[in-house]
Structure 1
Amino acid sequence: MESLDELDLELSKRVQILVKSINFYKSCMELNHPQDLELKSFADNNSFIRMTRYSLWCMSVLELNKLYGGSNDYYTIEKLLNILLYNCKKELLNDKIDKSTLKEWMSIIKSEKYNRIIKNLNSLRNKFYAHTDNNLDLSINEFEILDNEIIDIFTFTKEVISEIRLKVLGIDTNFETIKRDKYSALNVLKTLYENK
């Protein structure tokens, strides 16, 4: 990495990917877990809503894989950390962020917990959402990812990106996601469905 502008661009792309993944996830959860039991029943019994929440989950997983996929994925957090650790002009970081912090983040990614979650995300993408034609004998339940694990990944990724941007670039990162309306999309759909 040659310049601060280049680093800013690399981090900004990752912020965009992360925010998209979070938005897809939150929308999926909003459709999966409405506050009202009547809305829950409507969502569970409406094929359009079921397909929409499934599609939103798939999109969240696909976006998150851009940040935690394999070596062919350009915007992985691991690739960013490797660049900052080993392929970055020393004066670019200028001791603004400690190499031990970068190594600690790398060890978190490689930890048993995160490694399992990342493997499951990759398997969901590669075996179910992006390449469904050759794995008919696999069960999607083999690759379970819990809600709190996805939130852990989101939180960790925000921490890494925001700390690098703040310490090296002096930029405070806003991970603003879509504002949730007072009236949920599910409520609007239910009203439209009832009035057709």
Structure 2
Amino acid sequence: MTQERMNALAMLSMEKRLVTEMTDFNQRVIEKFAGQEPIITSAKMASGFLFALLLCLSIGLSAASCYGQTSYPGSCPPGWTQFGSRCFSFNIQGKSWIDAENFCNSDGGNLASVHSEEEHEFLRTFINQVTGANQTSWIGAFDSVQEGVWMWSDGSIFDYKSWAWGQPDNKGGAENCLQMNYKGKNWNDGQCNKMSPFLCSMKL
């Protein structure tokens, strides 16, 4: 099994866990898919992007295709900022990690992954330019499948990290999603249902 496929399946496992833990999220899923009973046999295993992912994987598409990653040759769409070969957008409205990921999916991307110090510093500067502060924000990593094994929601390799001192600590056994700009600078593992601004990214 490829790393990309493993990461995609890990996202499915994460969603099942979040649905179990968050009653309100589960209720919204049930309401959203109430009219699709012939297609979805269990509301508990359904969310918008993960149901689509399951269908994609069943016919052999890549995780990037399943997650809706869209390429924009040459330039980023309006409201997005280019760095390297990707486009980024910052969203100030607070959302839970899973709702933020769904929002990014709807725009053709994912919560942002970070792969170098240069990318990290660009994103910190980008957030500061938008908000005037080093705002704590969701990015796309999670470790809910196996504690301490971090994965990016876009299926890319977790090959860079910038943890704050003493992090990740999985405080209370319930911190499985990654925040950047923790205490204004580095990374922290946070509770996935916490409301926070977030960064999306997509391929150029």
Q: Which TM class, normalised by the smaller chain length?
A: under 0.3
Give the number of the structure whose alpha-carbon radius of gyration is greater: 1
More helix per residue: 1 or 2?
A: 1
Q: Scaled by the length of structure 2, what TM-score is found?
A: 0.23
